[in-house]
Amino acid sequence: MLKSKIGRPSLKTVLKTTTVAGLAAVMLSTGIPAQVVNSFAAPVTVTAPQVPSFADVVSAVSPAVVSVRVQSDTETASNDERGGGNGFSFGGRGFDNLPEDHPLKRFFREFGGQDGPQAGPRGRDRAERGGPRPHHLRPTAQGSGFFISEDGYVVTNNHVVSDGSAYTVVLNDGTELDAKLIGKDSRTDLAVLKVDASSRKFTYVNFADDNKTRVGDWVVAVGNPFGLGGTVTAGIVSARGRDIGSGPYDDFIQVDAAVNRGNSGGPTFNLNGEVVGINTAIFSPSGGNVGIAFAIPASTAKDVVADLMKDGKVERGWLGVQIQPVNKDIAESLGLSEPKGALVVAPQEGSPGLKAGIRQGDVITAVNGDPINDARDLAKKVASFAPNTKIDVSIWRNGKAQSIDVTLGNMATDEATKADSSAGEEDSKPSTEQALAALGMSVQPSENGAGLTITDVDPDSEAAARGIKEGETITSVNNKEVSSAADLNKVIDQAKKDGRTRALFQVEANGSSRFVALPINEG
């Protein structure tokens, strides 16, 4: 047994001391100075703000969140066959049938789940051992949703229910109820289902005013990841207004709460239990959560859902112009003070915009006095109006501001959906090639006499750096049609006299058109 050589308490006695006061007394008895003992006499405490608990919010909203099971008569691959994929992932279904050259094919994979809890290697093992099999092996997708009314209306994603033939809503207590599809909207990826509410009233949630949602605010996601219904994750709003290239109305709220396959269509709540967004996509090189998820804002969803509940469809205003963003170079070439607005590449044939007088090369700067920041902003503003609404469109043309009244068409009509901004067919009549050394390219009049065909591009030139290629056609410069090198040089000379350092070239290729701002060099 250990003893102190000077009769003081042994080390064993000190180690058995369990209280701060007792330890201090022992230390003093050994001759340790009081000021040293006092520095150890009290436990360390840290004063910090209380981290919020999400338990009250979760308890209140969970009964309103459901799992959505979708059956289809079409054979589709299971979760394990599809894998995670790279880039953005969408929960649910609907991207397998895209053409191989479609831009979304490269980036988007499904994450809604086909086999629910059975997905993945463990699920296969269980099925092989005679465990539960989903719906007698009928192809099944799973996603999430939530009630927005006590009489059984459920919001989810369009890609969750796409191509489905039967729908089942599973409540958080395990109750399974048949549902019917009321309507869906592929442009915003929203859908509404309806459950028979003749025998009960459902707990439901409300949409928040997401304009008050700030980057850094806490949010809670509730859903059905991997078929595990009633799963709760938390995080913060990490960005707003995200454009992920999925459509013209992209305006996603980015959150860092864990969102995975099967969360699609599920709600993201603020701490008041209001829905600020509907989970629709994740960025995932691996197919699983990496902390970047995207939700459709409540402000978008609220209007679309109301339209779907009303008559099963969404009607939007249609302007009918092909547009592109205005960058700094384009703004300078057109004499705009700042790079804002939407540049009209081409009005569509028979469109309201063309009928009202909107032309190629116009920059749309405002609608009903509200400034247009970019091409995406214009698409959203026009879509917010009902068909046949008369709007005031402010444009910038030939260095001057103008105003045009336009009566919008209907985005859903055949006229709107079949109208294409196709341009340029080539016929006959070749002519002489001429070099434009200052621009780094050579041109010759096109065979149909409309524009200049580019016959050569200097690989070290600004034209090449901005994507101009041999075989493309220059149809206008600074919104002036050109059919010869002389026409082109005349426009450029005038631009120099006006003090501009760039000229705006309209270039066509493969039936599509775009604008490119090129520097005007002396010589």
> Residue 140: what residue type?
T
Measured between alpha carbons, how far is 364 from 92 in angstroms, rounded to an integer?
Answer: 37
> Residue 161: what residue type?
V
Beta-carbon contacts of 46 under 8 Å, excluding residues fewer than 6 positions away, are none
Query: Residues 422-452, buried b or exposed e (16+ Cβ, 10 A)?
Result: ebbeeeeeeeeebebebbbbbbbbbeeebbb
Contact 342, 364 (CB under 8 A): yes
Spatial CA neighbour of 220 closest among 231, 208, 232: 232
Contact 229, 172 (CB under 8 A): yes
Q: How many residues does the chain have?
A: 523
DSSP secondary structure, 23-38, as one string: HHHHHHHTT--HHHHH
Total Cβ atoms within 10 A of residue 14 = 16
Contact 442, 455 (CB under 8 A): yes
End-to-end C-alpha distance for the chain, whole angstroms: 101
Measured between alpha carbons, how far is 209 from 430 in angstroms, rounded to an integer?
Answer: 61
Contact 265, 144 (CB under 8 A): yes
Measured between alpha carbons, how far is 222 from 259 in angstroms, rounded to an integer?
Answer: 9
Measured between alpha carbons, how far is 62 from 490 in angstroms, rounded to an integer?
Answer: 69
Report angle CA 52, 58, 63 to the nearest 5 degrees.
Answer: 170
Tokens representing residue 113 in the block: 């789940």
Beta-carbon contacts of 30 under 8 Å, excluding residues fewer than 6 positions away, are 8, 9
Contact 306, 298 (CB under 8 A): no
Question: Looking at the annotation, which residues are catalytic?
Answer: 159, 189, 264
Tokens representing residue 196 in the block: 């028979």
